[in-house]
Structure 1
Amino acid sequence: MKFNVRTTNKVTNHAGATAHTLDERLELYSAVVTTSLSDKFYEKAGERMERIRMLIELNEPDFVARLAVYTRQRMHLRSVPLMLAVELAKLQSGNSTVGNTVRQVVQRADEITELLAYYQLANARTGAKKLNKLSKQVQRGLSAAFNTFDEYQFAKYDRASEIKLKDALFLVHPKAVSEQQQAIFNKIVQGTLDIPYTWETTLSALGQQKFHSEGQKILAFRAQWEELIFSGKLGYMATLRNLRNMLEAGVSSQAMERVCTYLSDREAVAKSRQLPFRFLAAYREVKGLSSGLAAMVLDALEDAVAHSAANIRGFGSNTSVCIACDVSGSMQTPVSAKSKVQLYDIGLMLGILLQSRCAQVQTGMFGDTWKIVNVSRKNILGNVQEFYRREGEVGYSTNGYKVIQDLIARRQIVDKIMLFTDCQLWNSDSTQAGATATLSAQWTLYKKLAPKAKLYLFDLAGHGQAPVDVRASDVYLIAGWSDKVFDVLNALDEGRAALSEIEKIAL
């Protein structure tokens, strides 16, 4: 890859070991696609947000704009694309770049108010008119976005938050594209949008009713869940999130068969745009239940993940691959304050997804040591759980260099080595102290054994460093939590740059 690199390339990582900096574009990309910001912007920015702001200033506006659209439409992230669009508006004016970016990143009705909330925070607005003198380009982008949603979508997200849809409407002054759209805008102003039929509103209304007994309440909720299931109005994500609730409510086998058919439908999976670890979270919720229908649901989830993996190109029998998953202590960090999902889970999930699409592959995990764990290429979620169960077998340090050291010791030549890690590698083995006990040194040695080999670092944390210099020696950095990271892998395999998928985005 060719990038405009900084003069000083070596730094110290968070573990105290020598690491290499990334160029400004690659660092912004890795920081953004591994960031889980809160869905609400009413709190002070953290260190990651400050670093992203700094990196935005160092990058070309068009690249920032394309990255914002890429993270929303390809990576399916929600909050960070809005942040990129607003920060871009602070630096860019005089053309349509910001307006086009805002229009493309606002994909849900509530993102109109979320973007305004961050705009207010980012510009340190205080007083009665916090959003006075809104950027003209932001205004144009939001105006266009207002005309892309129907009444149901507005009603679903018309919440009693600090900035309401009504406030946004008065600020943006969108011009309705039709009389029907104008009627919807009028309803927003008057507060008369039809209450949407959603599982939240339906169950909330039921929960406010009084029941003569607990048994009557259980039967009522069971009937309500079955009605929701057979109505066909329960979306994919809502279904995925509520599998445990349905099973614990004791819905009928016919209802769960309907759910499983929907979950495992190839087209429904494709349209759902679920991040891979969402399936893993659902799998874990269901696996511990005593319901006799749980096995059926687990099978449906496996089928769903298999469908999601089908578009990963993978590698045939002529390409040998080594996949190594970092299970160190630093990887056991939640992706956000409220999430049960850890970086550890994402690394395992992405690693096993790729493993399922490779014909000649050895897969393992590293901590204090490196261990190959052979699993079937089927049952992706079950394989992740198997790795999860065995993670203590290799310890909790980050001796990633031992993956390549083992290949050298066995004289094993592979075409591609994939490390799924937070890139904070260091040596904890006192018996191997010295300059060669690093990933960088072992890679140099391995290239003598296997000159055509390539090393891919799947960065899951975005700290802005890499354990190996990514400017040369067939080393590549890919970042993110979505299965879309494999599109970047494909680009690299075809000789294109890691950021070429972003550069193709039309503004």
Structure 2
Amino acid sequence: MANKSLFASIVGKLVPATNARNHEGAPAYELTPKAALAQLAVTGTFNGTFYADARTQLTDVLALAAEVEPEYLAKVAVYAAESGYMKDMPATLLALLSTLPGDAFSRAFPAIVKNGKMLRTFVQVMRSGAIGRKSLGSRPKRLVEAWLETASDVSIMRSSVGNDPSLADVIRMVHPKPATESRRALYAYLIGKPYDVAALPAVAAEFEAFKRDPSGSVPNVPFQMLTSLDLSPRQQMEIARQSGWQMLRQNLNTFERQRLFADEGFTTWLASRLRDEEAVRKARVFPYQIMATYSALAKGVPAEIREALQDAMEIALRNVPDFAGRVVVCPDVSGSMASPVTGYRQGATTKVRCIDVAALVAAAVLRKNQRARVLPFEQTVVNVALNPRDTVLTNAAKLAAIGGGGTNCSAPLARLNGEKAAVDLVIFVSDNESWVDQSATRGTAMMAEWQMLKRRNPSAKLVAIDIQPYRTSQVTDGADILNIGGFSDRVFEVIAEFVSGAGPDRFVKRIEAVDL
């Protein structure tokens, strides 16, 4: 019989030494600058999280950006916008790029600034002083002006909704030179200057006509521009039919208050639209956004609409792979995971918590891999019975209801080691702020438990998804370990590539492969 204490001490010596402390002051591994920046870019929200406030996050981003070349910084910004579906972060990285030499800024700008909202966010960051300046500068000004000149009249009108700055403010800043009388009239109309009524583009002329006589057809403008008008149910339904998928999702309770669901035809149309596969993909919706909507539905919203949202969730998670072998998913349900996933924002804090996203990942993997084990953990593993045939939303709700306790990332691995379980893939979803299991060895307890598991399962792989923007992890990247920052449905693609043989730096390589 082997001497267990001797064996444990040998394993401890083989574990890589930690080189950092997490926010709980416990030992951890610091990510490389490229990996840390990628993680912050995909998960950072510049709002207060459980451990880090907005200023800390911004300071970390600026420090890490100084350690990478502008080309990589540009690719991170594009990736955050296109694959991470972020808004503030890519605009901030783009603003930072504008201060650096080279053409990376000019090449990244059109890939990031694709609509008026992102344009206004970019201008806001530039003028805020966050990157060390409070003006646009000549190069950014030229690109902003070019965006205005190439945008369609409809895009300009749709972009006019919003403030701080408004699109009118942006127009006043850059003084675009209109190429046509129509565009000249539109600019003047938006900034409150005299304009040629006859030259006004059709979309603006129709809106003004509708304001004078709202009995006609509803113009193709954002619904926010129409909310102050006295509209009939027919007109409200017409607005809905012209709206994008995300607007429909966000206003289901509004439709209920407006009693639009009394019209069976509208209800059937809306349900069909919500579960339309192409519309869901085009909307670039985060799965947790669907979860938030479903959880907040008013009692009067019909079952047909609720079922359509569940179908939309299945579509949003359709690329969850069917992993071969024995899969274990470990969602962190500790107390810190109760914080809002996008941080605390005064007056606009999301109801979706980190624990909701962790539960969603676990439920999604279980849905596609029905023999997978789910081991929720806090200080210890929490036992919960899940039915893999239940919907993703149903199982996610069961997991999210557990919540509480300290964080012990090594607990699920210790459970597997105690069982001498055969394992091929372990997926963690956590904020990585483990502290209950502080190890007396040179490495983390999670890393020590993983090495013990690997002695029985040499081909096993570990994926650690960090859904909060911190710079440390409880495990260090290796041929069998992958750290991932953030969560969207693209995360599953990265995991599948890693399982099929891609290297542990696949997340960074995916960003480096971005075409500017």
Aligned to 2:74: 65
Deviates more, 1:322-331 or 1:475-484: 475-484
SS of the residue 1:246 aligns to: helix
- The structure-2 alpha-carbon separation of the partners of 1:140 and 1:9, relative to structure 1 and needing over 3 Å to count, comes to farther
Aligned to 2:151: 149
CA distance in 1, matches of 2:54, 2:275: 39
**8 Å Cα contact 2:95-2:131 kept in structure 1:** no
Residue 361 of structure 2 is aligned to residue 353 of structure 1: no
Deviation at 1:466, TM superposition (A): 0.4
Deviation at 1:99, TM superposition (A): 1.1
Residue 200 of structure 2 is aligned to residue 200 of structure 1: no
SS of the residue 1:341 aligns to: coil
CA distance in 2, matches of 1:178, 1:499: 45
Match of 1:322 among 319, 328, 333: 328
Deviation at 1:200, TM superposition (A): 2.1
Aligned to 1:402: 411
Aligned to 2:484: 478
- The structure-2 alpha-carbon separation of the partners of 1:58 and 1:235, relative to structure 1 and needing over 3 Å to count, comes to same
Match of 1:240 among 249, 256, 267: 249
Deviation at 1:159, TM superposition (A): 4.7
CA distance in 2, matches of 1:382, 1:148: 46
Residues 187-216 of structure 1: CA deviation (Å, up to 9, x unaligned): 54566772453322323223xxxxxxxxxx
CA distance in 2, matches of 1:333, 1:135: 38
Aligned to 2:448: 441
CA distance in 1, matches of 2:179, 2:396: 49
Match of 2:498 among 492, 495, 498: 492
Identity of aligned residues (%): 22
Deviates more, 1:52-61 or 1:349-358: 349-358
**8 Å Cα contact 2:319-2:489 kept in structure 1:** no
Residues 231-255 of structure 1: CA deviation (Å, up to 9, x unaligned): x212211111111222233322332
Structure having greater relative contact order (Cα 8 Å, sep ≥ 6): 2
Deviation at 1:222, TM superposition (A): 4.9
Q: Which runs of 5 or more residues in structure 1 are unaligned? A: 1-6, 39-43, 207-219
Residues 320-346 of structure 1: CA deviation (Å, up to 9, x unaligned): 211111011111111232222211122
Deviation at 1:305, TM superposition (A): 1.0
CA distance in 2, matches of 1:67, 1:241: 29
- The structure-2 alpha-carbon separation of the partners of 1:168 and 1:453, relative to structure 1 and needing over 3 Å to count, comes to same
Give the residue type in structure 2 aligned to 1:308. A
CA distance in 2, matches of 1:417, 1:104: 35
SS of the residue 2:483 aligns to: strand
CA distance in 1, matches of 2:350, 2:364: 21
Give the residue type in structure 2 aligned to 1:96. D
CA distance in 2, matches of 1:81, 1:500: 18
Q: Which runs of 5 or more residues in structure 2 are unaligned? A: 1-15, 48-52, 208-219
Residue 466 of structure 2 is aligned to residue 455 of structure 1: no
CA distance in 2, matches of 1:123, 1:270: 34
Give the residue type in structure 2 aligned to 1:156. R
Deviation at 1:453, TM superposition (A): 0.7
Aligned to 1:212: none
CA distance in 2, matches of 1:221, 1:412: 63
Residue 354 of structure 2 is aligned to residue 375 of structure 1: no
Q: What TM-score does the superposition give when structure 2 sets the normalisation length? A: 0.82
Residue 333 of structure 2 is aligned to residue 309 of structure 1: no
Deviation at 1:315, TM superposition (A): 2.4
**8 Å Cα contact 2:96-2:131 kept in structure 1:** no
CA distance in 2, matches of 1:296, 1:119: 45
**8 Å Cα contact 1:99-1:139 kept in structure 2:** no
**8 Å Cα contact 2:437-2:445 kept in structure 1:** no
SS of the residue 1:204 aligns to: coil
Residue 421 of structure 2 is aligned to residue 412 of structure 1: yes
CA distance in 1, matches of 2:69, 2:170: 29
Residue 304 of structure 2 is aligned to residue 296 of structure 1: yes
Aligned to 2:25: 16
- The structure-2 alpha-carbon separation of the partners of 1:96 and 1:20, relative to structure 1 and needing over 3 Å to count, comes to same
- Please give the root-mean-square deviation of Cα atoms over the aligned residues, in Å: 2.8
**8 Å Cα contact 1:491-1:501 kept in structure 2:** no
Deviation at 1:290, TM superposition (A): 3.2
Aligned to 1:138: 140
- The structure-2 alpha-carbon separation of the partners of 1:428 and 1:294, relative to structure 1 and needing over 3 Å to count, comes to farther
Give the residue type in structure 1 aligned to 2:59. E
Residues 85-122 of structure 1: CA deviation (Å, up to 9, x unaligned): 111222x22x3211111221112113223212211223
Give the residue type in structure 2 aligned to 1:403. P
Aligned to 1:31: 40
Aligned to 1:214: none
- The structure-2 alpha-carbon separation of the partners of 1:161 and 1:382, relative to structure 1 and needing over 3 Å to count, comes to same
**8 Å Cα contact 2:422-2:457 kept in structure 1:** yes
Residue 271 of structure 2 is aligned to residue 260 of structure 1: yes
Q: What TM-score does the superposition give when structure 1 sets the normalisation length? A: 0.83
CA distance in 1, matches of 2:131, 2:422: 56
Match of 1:109 among 116, 119, 124: 116
SS of the residue 2:376 aligns to: strand
- The structure-2 alpha-carbon separation of the partners of 1:476 and 1:173, relative to structure 1 and needing over 3 Å to count, comes to same
Give the residue type in structure 1 aligned to 2:108. T
- The structure-2 alpha-carbon separation of the partners of 1:125 and 1:503, relative to structure 1 and needing over 3 Å to count, comes to closer
CA distance in 2, matches of 1:17, 1:101: 38
Aligned to 1:249: 258
CA distance in 1, matches of 2:96, 2:113: 15
